[in-house]
Each structure stands twice: as structure tokens, then as C-alpha cells.
Structure 1
Amino acid sequence: MLTLIHFTFCPFCQRVRLALGYKNLVFTETAARFYGPEHFRSISGFERLPVIVYPDGSRQGESLEIIAELDRRFPVTPPLHQGAIAVADLEAVLAWRARISGMLFRLIAPTLPQYPGLGDDPRAMTFYRERMEGWLGDTMEGLQARRHQWYASMEADLNGITDRVARHGFYTPVFSVADTLIAGDLTGLRLLEGITLQPELNAYFARVEAAAGISLLPEPLKQGQNL
């Protein structure tokens, strides 16, 4: 059986959860604590998560590489790359994601402690705060206070992707790796206080979750354990 070692709150981990769910692959989840690279190595062999453990015992990190490997290892499952999305379309969504990265994380960083295993764990929050504030150059409180500014900075890019998924249903007419990236990465926006997302974007999140049979919002894990 597959085992996914991940953080409940991590956008990159959410990508893989969506891929596994869409492919209807049976997997167990191990929710790691956000205690730092040494701890991550001790439980997964990698300094970053997600990490997937395959039935043969081999392990792999990096979310998009994992998703590509799932296509290769399980060819009878619905594809997420070839047959689901053209190379040019995938390159376009990756360029869009790179363009919004800074603003996106300024927006979602203060929301992610709503997930169990982060905001309710002082040790994890200490590491998370130090890492996020060092990277983003502002305090959690400052980021939260300026959320309307950050949102306005990426609203045009967000509207563009919203228009596309509303038109096609998914990023293309069928679920693909692009949807694992968009929905997994943008889910934190749904937790923003005082900011209402477009109904079309919320409808898209619902379609993606239904297609994968996975909920992306904070909820207790139904299986696995906390380490």
C-alpha cells in the first residue's frame, strides 16, 4: 500500500492528496509535525514533505514529480499528464503559479495555522513563524493586517484562472495535474477573513474535491497518526 507522509496544511502536500484521490489509489496518511528539517529527515528520509512511500519500499519527494511517477506506476488509473493536459497548457499554469507565488504565500501563511497539527502545536508554530516571517519579510500579524493589499495585488491573476476553470470545468475540460496544483495551492484563500472569493472559484474547488473524493479544508485526519 502507498503511504503519504505529509503536513495537513501544506499546499504541496494537498496536490498529492488530490492526485491519489482522483486516481482512486488506496493509501495511508502519516501527518508529520512541523518541527524542522532534522525531524522531517527522521520520519521520511527527506528534508521536505510530501514524501510518498511506494509498495516496494522506495520513497520519493517533490509533489509534481510524485504525481508524474503515479502516472507511470499506475497506468490503468486516470492520467494526470499525457491525455489530460497538453505540455503548453501545463507550462502556462506553472508560469502563472510562479508569478503569484510571493503574493499567494503572503495571503495564506496566516491562514494555515487553522489546520490541526500546526496552530494547536506550540513547537510547530514556533518553527513555522520563524520560517514564514524570515522568508516573507513580515510578521504573521502584519501579513494578516495587509491581506486586502496582497489580495488586490494578485486579483487580476486570480480572476484569469477563475474565468478559465469556470469556462472549462477544470483547467482543461478534464481533471489534470494542473487542477491538483491550482486547487491545492489556492485552498488557503478560502480561509481568509473578510475576503469573499468569486462564486465560480468556490464552485471549482467543490468540483475538484468531488472528483478526487478529498476535502482540502481543515478537518481531523480520519486515518494515520501524528508523529
Structure 2
Amino acid sequence: MKLYIYEHCPFCLRTRMISGLKQLDMQYEVIMEGDAETPTRLVGKKVVPILQKQDGTHMTESLDIVQHLDQLAEPSYVQEVDAPELEQWCKDSADAIYKLVVPRFTKGQFKEIATDEARTAFVARETRVFGDLDDLIANSGEHLAKINQKLLELEDLVDTREDVHLIDFKLFPLLRSLSIVKGLQFGNKVNRYMQNLADKSKVDLLFDQAL
């Protein structure tokens, strides 16, 4: 099997999580930013992640891929559990998170933007959505304050989490994205949660790229 991904992408990270957790024999292929031909050839549109299944067919949508891969072997991770506080945390935090992480992603060290051409395409794409990215970084204060408060609230919500369920495929990719942001205050419990899932999933955190 093969996963076509961006390294920075939180939706792609969901698929990397399940592959790592289940120790699947998975190939990864990073699609360059600005490369619309490859995904369009595979699935008819520019999108990631894309899974090439064992039968050679392809599928998209990150949580659909997670659920498909979860069915291939035991144990099962994609279980619906009652976690309304965590679901609400993700919903309430998402806008500020993306305004913090997206402009920093464009300055990061990821294979999909390893060329000047690809990085320029990435900046142009995100500028169309978010506006001036340098201004967003320069004026991060409001969003930093909000997310620092949300991270404080998250401490007790993740304190006793041991098993991996569906909500973790939504929460952890957001937190991993935030690890590229300097000035955030990750408490001990959130840090432990993040490192535990990073280790189990065999994915990297981004603290070494924080800006």
C-alpha cells in the first residue's frame, strides 16, 4: 500500500497515525506543492491524503482512510467514544490554530516545499485563503493568547487518556501542528499526551522548527 501525503498536513497525519499504530507495511510518497497532475491522475482532483489500496485502487478523505486501514488488522483504534469536551475543544480552537500554524508551515522544512518553486506555490495557495502570511505571524498575539488558554483547559481533559479512539485522530494532528508555534505553553499532561501518541504512531513533532 502507498500513502500520498504532505508532511505538514494535519489531515495526512491522521493516516500516518493509523499506519504507525498498526505497524502497517506502508510506503509514503510526498506530493510536491504545486503538483496538481499527480493527484488529478490518481483520483480526479488535487487532494491529499490519497491511499493506494492493496488492489491498486485509490481512496481519499482522511478519516475514511483511517477507518479502512483500521479494519485490516487488530487491534482496532477507530472507536466512537463519548468525548464531547474534546470534540468541542477541537471545534473551538481550530480557527485560531490554523491562523497560527499555516503561515509557519510555509516557512518550515518539509519535503513538499523543498524547492523554491514548490514553496512559492504553497505561499500563494495559503495567501489566497488566509491573506498576508507574514502579517499573520507578526500579529499572532491574540491567537497565541487564546490557544494558551485552550491548552491550559486541555490539561485535565487528556490527563487520563490511555487508549486511542477516533477523537485522537482529530485532536493529536491539531496539537502536532501547534508544535511549530513558538510562544505556546504546553503543560506537562498535554506534552505527555503528544509525545505518547507521537511515539506510538512513529510520527515527528515539530518543536525543532518552532517560530
TM-score by length of 2: 0.86
Q: Is the 8 A contact 2:151 2:190 kept in 1?
A: no
Q: Distance in 2 between matches of 1:103 and 1:37?
A: 28
Q: Distance in 1 between matches of 2:68 and 2:85?
A: 21
What secondary structure is seen at the aligned counterpart in 2 of 1:131? Answer: helix
The match for 1:80 is 77
The match for 1:32 is 31
Where relative contact order (Cα < 8 A, 6+ residues apart) is larger, the structure is: 1
- Give matches, 1:100-179, under 5 Å: 100-112=93-105, 113-136=107-130, 138-165=131-158, 167-169=159-161, 173-179=162-168
Count of matched residue pairs: 207
Q: Distance in 2 between matches of 1:163 and 1:146?
A: 29
The match for 2:200 is 211
Q: Distance in 2 between matches of 1:141 and 1:17?
A: 29
TM-score by length of 1: 0.80
The match for 1:224 is none
Q: Is the 8 A contact 1:19 1:212 kept in 2?
A: yes
- Give matches, 1:190-209, under 5 Å: 190-209=179-198
Q: Distance in 2 between matches of 1:156 and 1:7?
A: 29
Name the aligned partner's letter for residue 76 of structure 2.
Answer: P
What secondary structure is seen at the aligned counterpart in 1 of 2:34? Answer: coil
Name the aligned partner's letter for residue 71 of structure 1.
Answer: D
Name the aligned partner's letter for residue 111 of structure 2.
Answer: G
What secondary structure is seen at the aligned counterpart in 2 of 1:168? Answer: coil
Task: Name structure 1 gaps, 5 residues minimum.
Answer: 220-227
Q: Distance in 2 between matches of 1:139 and 1:130?
A: 10
Task: Name structure 2 gaps, 5 residues minimum.
Answer: none
Please tell me the root mean square deviation across aligned C-alpha atoms, in Å: 2.4
Q: Is the 8 A contact 2:179 2:207 kept in 1?
A: no
Q: How far has the Cα of 1:174 moved from its partner?
A: 0.4
Identity of aligned residues (%): 21
What secondary structure is seen at the aligned counterpart in 1 of 2:179? Answer: helix
Q: How far has the Cα of 1:153 moved from its partner?
A: 2.4
